[in-house]
Structure 1
């Protein structure tokens, strides 16, 4: 094989491997080239780039001789930075939602092309926020911008455009990105700086990117967040959020109870040992309690008023304790949730004057309390 052809082949293979192994991180800005244009419902016309919003609501026109040729494509983002009219020379805002919330501790590269229509570039302030900016709240932005862009951030030229790049260390709360002059020193403009009949002073941005330096994974909501911003068509409606917060519905907490009455027929007369029939009932109850979580179980023994009062009290207590011990043995870890008490002859449910009434009074009540949370 010809040595020069061999070297050329190695170079080609190396170049191919290098290019294929370099995977660019996902851009966290939707519509970064501003080519997709929103058709505003209220105007029935194209009005501004999809996924980018103005506060206060407005649409900025530019004198044709001033508007720059885009870096790529046909559109740019217009950013109002001031006015030649003193009464209107106050901060305005352009914002977007991030496709993914930033990851705490991750470093991100923020870059874009900037054109100031041959005016001197002063400064720009960028704010990363957790809450979506609204007309009523945007003035509450921190006095300290997340990033201040100055001439020092310019790292290259492309025709009439400056390429700008900076680094940002995320706190993990960032969901929205705002471009403004708020938080910066006020700049006075002359009438010659006006770029339209309204006296606005404008900057132009194109091909903006926000990318993680590391291997921060793309969130599951990436595509959904883009769709949500693109689907919002009232581009000039103030105080109507794109990302509406879902109402927090407090869970409804309810306590329900079941009562099981164990008749005295399941005990021998004057005894508290568990008979086979009673054990079968308790085993069925244990099966239910292992499926349906309970909060507490209260076991109370009762007697009629026949015989000795003290003996009746002790018998009622022993019957309740025996059932508690059986359930505790069958349900591990439930001892603290189960209580047992004897009420003797003092809480009858029927007249003690008849045999039928006395039989009803001789009983053990098991009251089970459940905690139900409906979300």
Structure 2
């Protein structure tokens, strides 16, 4: 749903530390499919089977929120009847960089260790290759304890992935060589389901950040509305001639150190900059001349001598004043600017000493530049 997409992007914009490369990881935004014009699947997630089969709207079943999805390890009556889930990455991964994949998984069947993850350059649902011919990049294996027969035990999974640099799609499924042939524990349920929820894929390097066009990427991903017959027609159309591999913008990387503006560059107790501060700020603009600036983060800090309300107002006001001055000087185009007033919550020195309090009264400037 487009309003859900907008709200999701606004939430991410307000949270600068959120770097999830998977859209709608919690599966709470719902897609209105083209065929039935109904809420039949999560946005950003495609199933190799009908969306209705894998999608569950049940807060008691989900790990968090209302929704979750399931992959099928086998079918009680059909041979090699498996389903896979895939999503497109928001940004391209950087070759050689490492990323942490985290999600939650559960099943009443003891089969979690054979759940696998596959990263691909092209859409794994399109083209000639069969899922049975693919080998996962990651297997849960030792990352999960052997699960007992219970439908309520969610297992938190954390895996590390080293990027090849050409990844565009993410796929999760059951990759055991043979079908699971365990006891059918629910009389009316023929599928051996494995439930999944709350996916996140984030860079381990704290200097790596989402690409600058992530908002448009999410819009494009959410714009895929085929889930049933139209998706099957699309697969048949691209069976012999797969579509071009999408070119994703790479994550950005920090190449400019954090600059600290000390308290002496502001008028005492105010958010007005002293004249001498302009030369300091102009020097930052010169350092990034000719580079592509992707975003700007400013964090205002105070000591603990004022009231909480005064400190909160002063810290964010100083950060905003700096942002207003420097943003148009480091980029000719509009860039994302994140401004935070952190009051006295992150001291770098002892507030009991005058020298320490002066160090704590500061504005931190972080300029994120796209590495060429």
8 A contact 1:154–1:163 mirrored in 2: no
After superposition, the Cα gap between the structure-2 partners of 1:116 and 1:105, relative to the gap in structure 1 and judged at 3 Å, is: same
**Which position in structure 1 is the counterpart of 2:217?**
225
CA distance in 1 between counterparts of 2:85 and 2:244 reads 20
CA distance in 1 between counterparts of 2:178 and 2:123 reads 25
**Which position in structure 1 is the counterpart of 2:297?**
none
Structure 1 residue 44, shift from structure 2 partner: 2.2
8 A contact 1:134–1:239 mirrored in 2: no
The match for 1:54 among 47, 52, 65 is 47
8 A contact 1:116–1:202 mirrored in 2: yes
CA distance in 2 between counterparts of 1:73 and 1:67 reads 6
CA distance in 1 between counterparts of 2:218 and 2:187 reads 31
Structure 1 residue 43, shift from structure 2 partner: 1.5
CA distance in 2 between counterparts of 1:188 and 1:229 reads 33
8 A contact 1:103–1:216 mirrored in 2: no
Matched, 1:105 2:99: no
**Which position in structure 2 is the counterpart of 1:131?**
122
Structure 1 residue 240, shift from structure 2 partner: 2.9
After superposition, the Cα gap between the structure-2 partners of 1:140 and 1:190, relative to the gap in structure 1 and judged at 3 Å, is: closer
The match for 1:211 among 186, 199, 202 is 202
Q: TM-score, structure 2 length as denominator?
A: 0.52
CA distance in 2 between counterparts of 1:181 and 1:104 reads 26
CA distance in 2 between counterparts of 1:28 and 1:230 reads 14
After superposition, the Cα gap between the structure-2 partners of 1:99 and 1:239, relative to the gap in structure 1 and judged at 3 Å, is: farther
Matched, 1:201 2:192: yes
The unaligned stretches of length 5 or more in structure 1 are: 1-21, 248-375
CA distance in 2 between counterparts of 1:212 and 1:80 reads 29
The unaligned stretches of length 5 or more in structure 2 are: 1-14, 247-372
CA distance in 1 between counterparts of 2:214 and 2:45 reads 16
Q: CA RMSD in A?
A: 3.7
**Which position in structure 2 is the counterpart of 1:173?**
166
**Which position in structure 2 is the counterpart of 1:114?**
105
Q: TM-score, structure 1 length as denominator?
A: 0.52
CA distance in 2 between counterparts of 1:113 and 1:246 reads 29
**Which position in structure 2 is the counterpart of 1:240?**
234
C-alpha deviations, 1:3-28, integer Å up to 9, x for none?
Answer: xxxxxxxxxxxxxxxxxxx9745000
Structure 1 residue 230, shift from structure 2 partner: 1.1
CA distance in 2 between counterparts of 1:140 and 1:120 reads 18
CA distance in 1 between counterparts of 2:232 and 2:146 reads 36
CA distance in 2 between counterparts of 1:141 and 1:131 reads 17
C-alpha deviations, 1:193-250, integer Å up to 9, x for none?
Answer: 45854x1111111111100001223113311121112122122212538996499xxx
After superposition, the Cα gap between the structure-2 partners of 1:116 and 1:124, relative to the gap in structure 1 and judged at 3 Å, is: same
User: Max radius of gyration: which structure?
Assistant: 1
Q: How does 1:7-156 map to 2 (within 5 A)?
A: 24-60=17-53, 69-85=61-77, 87-117=78-108, 119-139=110-130, 143-153=134-144
CA distance in 1 between counterparts of 2:157 and 2:64 reads 16
After superposition, the Cα gap between the structure-2 partners of 1:92 and 1:59, relative to the gap in structure 1 and judged at 3 Å, is: same
CA distance in 2 between counterparts of 1:235 and 1:25 reads 29
8 A contact 1:28–1:210 mirrored in 2: yes
**Which position in structure 2 is the counterpart of 1:347?**
none
Structure 1 residue 50, shift from structure 2 partner: 0.6
CA distance in 1 between counterparts of 2:121 and 2:243 reads 13
After superposition, the Cα gap between the structure-2 partners of 1:207 and 1:246, relative to the gap in structure 1 and judged at 3 Å, is: closer
CA distance in 2 between counterparts of 1:155 and 1:164 reads 13
Single out whichever of 170-179 and 211-220 deviates more from structure 2.
Answer: 211-220
Single out whichever of 93-102 and 69-78 deviates more from structure 2.
Answer: 69-78
